Structure 1
Amino acid sequence: MPPEPPTQAATRRAHAFLARALNAPLAHRDRFRPADAIVVLGAPLTRRGRISDILEERVRAGVSLYHRGGAPVLCVTGGGPPGRVEADVMAEYALALGVPRSALRVERRSRSTEENARFSAALLAPDQCHTVWLVSQPFHLRRARALFRRHGVEPLCWHADDSLQHRQPRRALRWLLREYAALGYLGVRIAAGAVDRART
């Protein structure tokens, strides 16, 4: 392969540096310990209704955590139009990776991280799941953790070691900028009392 042009290499390094800097306040991964459930957060499917690389990474990380003994229940959460429901595609992939159907909980209604939290908490309540692992990309976990806490569960955070976010910094910058906007919007809505909190 020909050597990378200096300007291209410098741009790539700048993207990586900026992505790491923006990610630092957002990323968090807890030490491994058993919990009551694992919740894998949804993401858009491909245009053909197949699992995307982002979603595949999340499901693989959640299934790996399940096989390690992270929890006896694996919940996949994410909605969509008929035939393109994220959670259904996630569940089929988790089954193919060896998760028994009896361990799966499939939440099909949510269209946002806030709804992931609300509907997953309700779905897991009959199983008395109080502590849950949240599985996503690193940039997503701070906001997800805040939302799940508002719905009465104690979240732990998990992500793949070699995340796409780290391997594709230029792409990650778009995710990170959107995530900061989403965090700001969430803060405004919480201050205005527009975000539900679980009844205790």
Structure 2
Amino acid sequence: MGYIMISMAKILYFTGPILIIALLALLTSEQHYRESFYHPYLVINFLVFLIVWVGSTLALKISFAYPLPKGYFWKIAGAWSITSSISWLINHFILSGFLARSGSRPKFSIPILVLTWIFGLILVLGWFYGLALLKYIFTSSQLRWLKVGIEVVLSVLGLFLVIIVVINLHVRFRFRDRITSVDSVQSNATAIVFGAGVYQESGRPSLVLRDRIETAAELVEKGKSESVLLSGDGSAGSIEVDVMARHAVEIGIPESILVLDKSGYRTYETCSRACTEFGIRDALLVTQDFHLPRALLICKSVGLGAVGVRADRTRYSLLSHLIWALRESLATAYAWLEEMVNHK
């Protein structure tokens, strides 16, 4: 097992910085540019970072070695500083070319760039020194207990991740036929719009929430829904449902067909209350694709017949997709477990 772990460490030595660079390229892309060229620019940003990183590590002759050679810290710090500064400079000119088509200029924030450099340096140093520590642990006969402990933790963590992935794939496959678009949906049931946060200062819905409300409006316009349930957080100080209702009326949904639920604090509450409090038996769930499998699973568990309608009207940033995927994968696994327990 120790040999396998050391071999994995050697592989991770090379792949780890690539993942870190991908993350930092994503963060800097997110900071500077969010429009339609976001995705191709992100790829270019990542490639520039990667090429400069490989070049700087080769130039400074950085390699996997233990014990760490003298001056290793300064070599890593230097390689990352060279990578970050040259890459940001190159990407600035590339991005300027992208934005020149629309007559705008890239938005650079010096504090953000400095923080990103510090964050990247900590990650890169932590990665290399962490691997060196792992190699020391797995080659030292005096730390056998720690070696066993790490193996157990990694095994449990790996098993946990496998279970999470399997559950999510199962749920998505199970409800794949109940997810559709506005044009394809045949039902004429109540549209349920899930809350997704609002901007408190401006009193406007977030981009995700706006897309959900506008999708519901399209369902009403095309005669595919005769009523709309707006469900969100109505606790003290929250204006989420009020903002949802105001925006719905502004874009043409008749106020007379709106139903407000100010106790939809989470997906489960929204689906459950739709049945128990509002007497809904069939519904169109209006939310983004990443959220639909879990919402459909919960609706089935509370006895609500539902069809999911995708509300992905905008090209959301890749960073948002990554955050949603992480959060939703855990929430879906929890909802599946909750369904299994309640079913029994």
What TM-score do the two structures reach when normalised by structure 2?
0.46
Pairing partner for 1:79 from 216, 233, 242: 233
Which has the larger displacement, 52-61 or 181-190? 181-190
Aligned to 1:43: 196
Q: CA–CA distance in 1 between the matches of 2:255 and 2:200?
A: 27
Kept in 2, the 8 Å contact 1:76–1:90? The answer is yes
Q: CA–CA distance in 2 between the matches of 1:8 and 1:104?
A: 45
Partner of 2:311: 160
Corresponding residue to 1:134 among 285, 294, 298:
285
- Alignment length (residue pairs): 177
Which TM-score applies when normalising by structure 1? 0.77
Whole-Å separation in 2 of the counterparts to 1:110 and 1:4: 38
Cα deviation, residue 9, structure 1: 5.4
CA contact (8 A) 1:85 1:108 kept: no
Counterpart of 1:133, as a letter, is: L
SS in 2 for 1:139: coil
Which runs of structure 1 show a deviation greater than 6 angstroms over 4 or more consecutive aligned residues? none
Aligned to 1:63: 217
2:185 counterpart (14, 32, 57): 32
Matched, 1:110 2:264: yes
Distance 2:43 2:341 in 1: 49
Q: Which SS does the other structure have where 1:172 is aligned?
A: helix
SS at match of 1:81: coil
Q: Give the structure, 1 or 2, with the largest relative contact order (CA under 8 Å, sep 6 or more).
A: 1
Equivalent residue letter for 1:44: G
Which residue is 2:276 aligned to?
122
Note the alpha carbon deviations across 1:102-152, whole angstroms, 9 max, x for none.
111101112100001111223431xxx432110011100011011112222
Amino acid at match of 2:242: D
**Which residue in 2 is equivalent to 1:198?**
none
- Taking the aligned partners of 1:172 and 1:139, their CA distance within structure 2 comes to 8
> Structure 1 residues 134, 7: CA separation in 2 closer, same or farther (over 3 Å shift)?
same
Inter-partner Cα distance in structure 1 for 2:185 and 2:43: 41
- For 1:87 and 1:118, how far apart are their aligned partners in 2? 17
Distance 1:136 1:161, change over 3 A: closer
**Which of these two proteins has the greater Rg computed from alpha carbons?**
2
Shift of 1:161: 5.0
The answer for unaligned runs of 5 or more in structure 2 is 1-39, 49-167
Identity %: 25
